[in-house]
Amino acid sequence: MKTVLSGRTAEVIIDTDGPVVIIGESINPTRRRKLVSSLQEGDFSYVLELAASQIKAGADILDVNVGYPGVDDAKLLPEVVIAIQDNFDIPLCLDSPNPSAIESALKVSAGKCLINSVNGKEESLRALIPVAKEYGAAIIGLCMDDDGITNDPEKRVSIIEKIIDRAVAAGIRAEDVIADPLAMAVSAEPQACVITLETIRLVHRKLGQNITMGASNISFGLPDRESLNSAFMTLAVYCGVTCPIANPEKTAAVARAADLVLGRDDYAIRFVEYFQSRNS
C-alpha cells in the first residue's frame, strides 16, 4: 500500500514494501521553550533552523506542532507552514489539539499534507475527517477513543478499523489513513512495547496500512534512551512500521540499517549514500 504526500512539488511515497520514511519530530514545543518564545516574538529563524537541520539529517516529512498554553495556533500554525514551505520543498504533518488551527493551516499549505493525531473519539472524527476530505489531506489515526487507551492489541486494531471506515465513508482513500498503534513509556508499563509491537503486527497483516509511531515515547524517564529507541525502532520496522515520527539526527542511521537488513536496500546503495552524506 502506498500513501503519497507532497510539498510544493516534491513527492514522498510511504510504501508498506519500501524503505522507512522519517517524519521529523523536532518542531514541537515540548522541551523546546525557545520554539514558542521565538515564534511569539514573530521570529521564524529558529523554526527554520529546526527544519533545515532535520532535513539535512534525513527527515522526509516534517511534523509541525506549535500548540502551547497561551498560543493562538489558529493564527500561528498557518504562519509557520508558510514560512517552512517558502524555504523548503517537503511535505508537512500538522498537529494541533485545535481543529480550526489544522483547517487554517491546510488553507495556506501547498501540496498534500498529513493531519496528525486524529483519533477514534466522535469529537475528533466529526471535526477532522471532513477537513481532511475538503483539503485532500491524509490522516494519522491514533488507536484511542472515547473509552481511552486499551492494552488489548485487538481492540487497538478495531479502533484503527473504525477510523478507516469513517474516512472511507467520507470519500477519503483507505491508503490515506496511516495507523498509529500508540507507543508508550516502558518505564510506566512493562508490557507497553510488546502491546505496541503486537498492534503493529496485526494492523500490518489484517489491514495492510502504513504505520507511524512516536518512536522516542517508549524511553521517557530512562537512561541511554538512544539504545532503547534503536532496539524498539528495529523491531517495530520489522513488524510493519513504515513512517516513524522521530529525531532524524538520532534515528536515520538505524532506519537505513533496518532497511538494509530487511532486504529493502539492494546492494546497500541508500545505506552507503547515507554515510557518505553524513561524513561530507
Give the interface with ligand THG as residue ranges (CB under 6 A). Answer: 25, 28, 30-31, 95, 116-117, 140, 142, 180, 183, 212-214, 216-217, 225, 245, 247, 250
CB of 210 to ligand THG, least distance (A): 12
CB of 87 to ligand THG, least distance (A): 21
CB of 253 to ligand THG, least distance (A): 13
Residue with the closest Cβ to ligand THG?
214
Our CB check for ligand THG shows the closer of 78 and 244 to be: 244
Which cell numbers in the block locate residue 279?
A: 561524513
Our CB check for ligand THG shows the closer of 222 and 269 to be: 222
CB of 95 to ligand THG, least distance (A): 6
Our CB check for ligand THG shows the closer of 13 and 185 to be: 185
Our CB check for ligand THG shows the closer of 243 and 265 to be: 243
Our CB check for ligand THG shows the closer of 42 and 188 to be: 188
CB of 64 to ligand THG, least distance (A): 11
